[in-house]
Amino acid sequence: MGSAISSCIEHLPPLADLIHPTPETYALLLNIFQYFPFSLIQWLTSFHPAGKTSLNHSLFNLPGRWAWCLMEIISPLNLLYLLYSLPRKFSLPPLPLLNKFLAALFTLHYINRAIISPFFAAPSMSPIHLGIVLSAAIFNWLNSGGLAGWLVGFDLSLIPDGSTAAVPIPTPMTGGLGPKTIIGPLGLILFILGMGCNIHSERTLFRLRREEALRRLNQETNSNSTTPPTHTSTPEKTKEETGNIYHKVYIIPPSTGLFKTILYPHYVFEWMEWIGFAMLGTLVLPTSSITATPILSTAGTSILRPELHLAPWLVPAAKVTRYLGVGFPVPAVVFVVNAVTNMLPHARWGRRWYVERFGEERVEGRGAVVPFCSWL
């Protein structure tokens, strides 16, 4: 065991290359991220000490708002830092306008997610366990590092898992109508629509929590009644214990609007965001297509395109982009896959939580993210 661990450590890139990824380190980060290990665990257990299911008392609990901000702000900060530093390190050409635009969209999402949502929109946030914070931080660091390498123009030789032949790189389309004239604008529309509906559905949940907390407070003041209605969950701590009347006050959203058929529309619309982002990313070209100047290593030698053995579930997307004659935005596609596989089990266990707290009749047959599906 000790020798195996030592061997793994010896094969890790130097710390400097992890902070400022080389093309080889970029390929390594993507190879790790496409098999992000925490997804399987979340399918096997409902234990998730954050949000509705946070632990009341734990030595490893961190303040909810600050913990959430810390683990999410890593994404935009690391991305922007690498977009600034990597071109200088490798003497790359300036970022194309499209690449800057994609970075701006990504940053915009995380300004809402890491700052506006926890500090200005959420009525309260339960403590978050240190383990959750660390796993989310690793996720966001890997993701932003991969996206940064892609946006600065690092290129890859893509090899389907189990094969020795690289996937041919499509020839960039130079003119006329074609898939790229449709995919790009459609991707932008999906991103904007997904982000807007994601924010709207999340803010709806926050509004319902505020209204329910105020209703309870008024009821206690007027009638001294402490019995909550059957359609809300019982708070686990009182206002006196937390200093926040909204703490642990949850209400099942009524089956109207975006919540008519599913309980987690904010998850679905976030996935739509990143699908749109990946579609827009099919128009991004690697450095080899932008300039004939090879990337140089810190030792002054030319760097060949590193190989990336694609996970089996990414191969169909690679074939589709090849057929359409557009680029395959590997980091963006990996992000979509990991976002879905990490959030889907949360939604599934969350639906079960709603059923346990409020009863199946209050859930009204809605699915977690698939309309009227009790399992999903």
Beta bridge partners of 159: 309
- Band of residue 333 on the pLDDT scale cut at 50, 70, 90: very high
Mean pLDDT of 342-348: 91
List the chain domain ranges.
15-216+246-287+304-363
- Band of residue 325 on the pLDDT scale cut at 50, 70, 90: confident
> What tens digit of pLDDT does each residue of 126-149 get?
899 999 999 999 999 999 999 999
pLDDT at residue 202 in the model? 95
pTM for this entry: 0.85
Percent of the chain exceeding pLDDT 70 equals 81
**Of residues 292 and 135, which shows the higher confidence score?**
135
Q: Quote the tokens at residue 226.
A: 């402490």
- Band of residue 275 on the pLDDT scale cut at 50, 70, 90: very high
DSSP label of 232:
B
> What tens digit of pLDDT does each residue of 189-207 get?
999 999 999 999 999 999 9
Q: How far from the centroid of its chain's Cα atoms is residue 202's Cα?
A: 15
Find the distance separating the first CA and the last CA of the chain, reported in whole Å. Answer: 39
* Torsion on CA atoms 62, 65, 71, 72, rounded to nearest 10: 170
Mean pLDDT across the chain = 82
pLDDT at residue 228 in the model? 52
Residue 295 has pLDDT above 60, yes or no: no
Contacts of 310 (CB under 8 A, 6+ apart): 34, 158, 159, 160, 161, 167, 318, 330
> What tens digit of pLDDT does each residue of 142-188 get?
999 999 999 998 988 888 765 545 555 554 444 445 677 889 899 99
Greatest mean pLDDT among 26-35, 105-114, 214-223 = 105-114
> What tens digit of pLDDT does each residue of 214-228 get?
888 887 777 664 455
pLDDT at residue 236 in the model? 45
pLDDT at residue 221 in the model? 76
Identify each DSSP E strand in the chain by its residue range.
61-62, 128-129, 157-160, 307-310
φ/ψ (deg, to 5) at 302: -70, 145
Residue 242 has pLDDT above 60, yes or no: no
pLDDT at residue 38 in the model? 67
